[in-house]
Amino acid sequence: MFKKILIANRGEIATRISRACSELGIKSVAIYAEPDRYALHVKKADEAYSLGPDPLLGYLNPHRVVNLAVEAGCDALHPGYGFLSENPKLAEICARRGITFIGPDAETIRIMGDKTLARQAMIDAGIPVIPGTQSSLGSVDEAIAVAGEIGYPVMLKASGGGGGRGIRRCNDEAELRNSYARVISEAEKAFGRSELFLEKYIDRPRHIEVQVLGDAFGNVIHLFERDCSIQRRHQKLIEIAPSPQLDESQRTYIGELAVRAARAVNYRNAGTVEFLLDPEGRFYFMEMNTRLQVEHTVTEQITGIDVVQEQTRIAAGLPLSVSQADVSHRGYAIQFRINAEDPQNNFLPSFGRITRYYSPGGPGVRTDAAIYTGYEIPPYYDSLCAKLTVWALDWDQAVRRARRALNDMGLYGVKSTIPYYLEILNHPDFVQHRLDTTFVERHPELTRYASRRRPEWAAIIAVAIATREGL
């Protein structure tokens, strides 16, 4: 097993990886840009090294990151998610410098990171894909010709896209013409690539993904599925495991599809195969994420398997600790991305100082956070500041527990998505798990909630004590 791992990330995921390292008896090394000097992931790691003053360039410089790993005496590097996690160059540099990359090899990252190459690999493996182009588009006229064949509406997508960016729905030829240059520009800025492809738009699909693990001994398993249908602008907000919308035959089928997809590219380490499920019950491959997912917590809660520790074991050359026959699921888990955003103002990011923070607890409640009272949320990064995951034996109990935990959670000084999630939890479509990817846009009324600001009990107690002492 490794002796020391550099975590090439920040925030809650860096803290999460540090905890896994601690349980495995491995030293963890944090890296930070100047705005993160007082961040929680820096405090939790065994060692921490500065990337310099720039808030982004250090985290995005693979040579600098690997150099730090070498200087710190690390024998492995975990990329987390975001930043360089799906950059094949990082994996290549690690290999050249004798640092084990905790993830798949560079070639797998490259193939699955290119949506057109990934589509072709799945077609070759007999995995159903959404109707669309088999290679990158050469011009807007070619896009219009393909759209005419498969029918509008269509989705125009960046081949190297991810995180909900580089995607545009086009309902007719005029929208496709207007969107083409825009999506190219967005793709170049976000991913450094301009290639686009086209897919048929599926109306009101459910977004179902499967967690897979593969080792160097030919073992590939799945850890069941997650339902990620509650999302806005193609970015996930709430994730559920297992999907309350699938029956057992569908669950078995999609799990087998995901394993076949992973085997088709000789996948090693943790990955996620993402599908769309149309209203007629047909599954279509959408993409494969070659990294740890934000929502891995719900999978861990229903299976009892630590995904980060399995990643580390695989990278160290060990076999999976479990076989497919050993994997079972129990109950339901729901994860809420606690974002510093204002849902009543089009989810505008809300950065600033957290004046008070209270983490919920009790049975079946897990919080993965990067915040604390007095922490200043910097404006340079994603607005995710915590993840709340609840687990219960059945769906109704999980929903009730989620309401209780969100009400227990206190986050003051910035706007957050907490009150919005409470509205969703009380909507009959969510309670009866009638979910699809259009849920958020079809229910704008859920952002028109009344203020639920609760008294800050610590302040009240302080006033009471002061009043008593004055008597």
Catalytic member of 291, 313, 337, 366? 291
Rg (CA), the chain: 22
Percent helix, strand and coil across the chain, each rounded to 5?
A: 40, 25, 35
Which of 278, 113, 124 lies closest to 201 in space, CA to CA?
278
CA–CA separation, 199 vs 220, rounded Å?
29
Q: Which helix (H) or strand (E) holds 43?
A: helix 40-44
Residue 377 in 3-state DSSP?
strand
Tell me which residue has tokens 């064949």: 149
Q: Which residues pair with 213 in a beta bridge?
A: 221, 270
DSSP letters spanning 216-285: TTS-EEEEEEEEEEEEETTEEEEEEES-TT--HHHHHHHHHHHHHHHHHTT--EEEEEEEEE-TTS-EEE
59 residue type, one letter:
Y
**37 catalytically annotated:** no
Q: Are 343 and 419 within 8 A, CB to CB?
A: yes
- Which residues are paired to 29 by β-bridges? 6, 47
Report the catalytic residues. Answer: 291
